[in-house]
A and B are shown apart, each in its own frame.
Chain A
Amino acid sequence: MSQYEPLIGAVVVILFAVSVLLLSGKQAGKKASLIFRTLPGVNKLKRAVGLAVEDGTRLHVSLGSGSLIDPACPSGLTGLATLDRIGQLTSTSDLPPMSTSGSGGFQILSQDVIGQNAVVTNTRDRMDATLAQLAGVTSFSYAAGTIEALRESGTSANVFLGSFGAEAGLLCESAERLNSFTLAGSNSVIGQSVFLALTKDALISEELYVLPAYLGAKVAHQASLRVQDIFRLVIILILIAGAVFKVMNWI
């Protein structure tokens, strides 16, 4: 690692944070209206949320087998933000959403999110301690535990958002057997390829992280989506410039 790398990293993080803060402001939010790229899976999820409320069925958010102290934890945290938003959207339903996770940290946080939603929406009477479950602590035991939870709870839609590997295949197959809608995204390349092959609606790459913004969670989610797009454009330009410089033998 060169001496400049930490400095570059710090500058990127500070620029990103300042941009998110600036775009989260009320004035910035009013000035620029967001136009989202269509993600068919997200539209189907919104429909599935509506149907679940009407039918009185449950939605399941799976946070994957990753841990809170893994570098891959942001995908699970995005899953938590999605669980929070789905909890708000289904507050009029008889059945609040349930969540399964593969680590103690995420199980406690998901229970906290479901509990907070119950307090905010005044639905504490529908709260159940089993709504946030630790399905298993290894990837395959997590898959086995989640399949069992899916069968028992009678879910009509599943959102798999988090750290998933090859075990995601078992989850997708199980969800398909139950005829439930599945929207899935993973931070790992293996998990993404399994989801793409085995589900109708897979979220690829950064699509996983923008789901809360698409569900209209908070202004900060939408602001970070804008900043993410700006940074992506900058990275693309740097990559193209690098390739051109390399071809021209300038570097």
Chain B
Amino acid sequence: MKSLFAVVVAILSGLIVLAGYFFSAPALLAARTTMLDWAVTLAGMAGLVSITHLIFGVHIKRLRESGSKRFFSLIVILVFISTLGAGLYFGPAHPQYQKVVTAVQVPIETSLMAVLAVTMAYSSLRMLKRQRNWMGVIFFLSVILFLVINSGALAFSADIPVLQELLSGFHQIPAAGARGILLGVALGSLATGIRILIGSDRPYSG
């Protein structure tokens, strides 16, 4: 059950941080900065707790089960222990430690990015099959149009005044669309924040 104490603490903390953002009273600013520092520390601790849960709650459990996934879980656990050990010994800011971690992480994420590029290209080709509606057709045509415009294939338009102005106008369309989307996102974020601030939405039990 949700504890009243947790709800009161959450609402008060939210109000103090929000008031510190809108009003520049020194006491409010000091309280806001301190609370945000606590939040960063707590977020770090939450990360540590979650990683521990991932290793001991998920992968150790999987080691006990039969199946080919055990091997990968074993690798995850061994790499986690060695990274943790090296991090504690050298310190996370040590250049050699950073170099080793980056040398593993960057190639893996780059490979995933390459897979993503192929996946996106292939899936985009199938988009019209998936979205057989006006939205899908307009989206598809817009993608083609802006790919052509941004590819530089229409560079000759600099010599044709009307075409140049037309293309310049087209360049404004994505910004206008993004602005509309972001206004909606801002309103939705405000609504979510307010629900949590007034205590009607409580994603914590306390």
The residue in B24, B113, B187, B198 that gathers the most chain A C-beta atoms within 10 A of its C-beta is: B187
Q: Is the pair B40, A81 in contact by a Cβ cutoff of 8 Å?
A: no
Task: Tell me whether A208 and B188 are in contact (CB under 8 A).
Answer: yes
CB pair A74–B123 under 8 Å, yes or no, is no
Q: Is the CB–CB distance between B58 and A133 below 8 Å?
A: yes
Count of chain A to chain B residue pairs whose CB atoms are closer than 8 Å in the complex: 204
Interface members, chain B 62-102 (any A CB < 8 Å): 69
Cβ-defined contact, B120 with A198, below 8 A: yes
Least CB distance from A203 to B in Å reads 10
Q: How near does chain A come to B121, taking the closest CB pair, in angstroms?
A: 10
CA distance A112 to B1 in the complex (A): 11
CA distance A20 to B154 in the complex (A): 51
**B residues near A189, Cβ cutoff 8 Å:** 178, 181-182
Dominant SS among interface residues on chain B: helix
Least distance between A8 CB and chain B CB atoms (Å): 10
**Contact (Cβ within 8 A) A197 B18:** no
Name the residue on A nearest B179 (C-beta).
A239
Given A138-B109, A209-B188, A228-B187, does the pair A108, B49 have CB atoms closer than 8 Å? Answer: yes
Q: Which A112-137 residues have C-beta < 8 A from chain B?
A: 112-113, 115-116, 119, 129-130, 133-134, 137
Asked whether A141 is an interface residue with its Cβ less than 8 Å from the other chain, the reply is yes
- Whether B116 lies near A16 (C-beta < 8 A) is no
Evaluate whether A141 and B109 lie within 8 angstroms (CB atoms) in the complex, with A112-B204, A197-B139, A228-B191 already known: yes
B109-A108 in contact (CB<8A)? no
B22 touches A6 (CB 8 A): yes
Q: How far is the CA of A170 from the CA of B123 in the complex (A)?
A: 10
Tell me the bound Cα distance from A200 to B133 in angstroms: 10
Q: Cα distance A196–B142 when bound, in Å?
A: 13
Decide: A205 near B131, CB < 8 A? Known: A17-B198, A130-B61: no
Query: Does residue A107 face the partner (Cβ distance < 8 Å to B)?
Result: yes
9 tightest Cβ-Cβ pairs between the two chains A and B = A209-B188, A205-B184, A104-B46, A220-B200, A104-B47, A206-B184, A104-B50, A74-B192, A134-B50
8 CB < 8 A contacts A-B: A20-B195, A105-B43, A115-B205, A129-B61, A140-B108, A169-B116, A205-B184, A231-B187
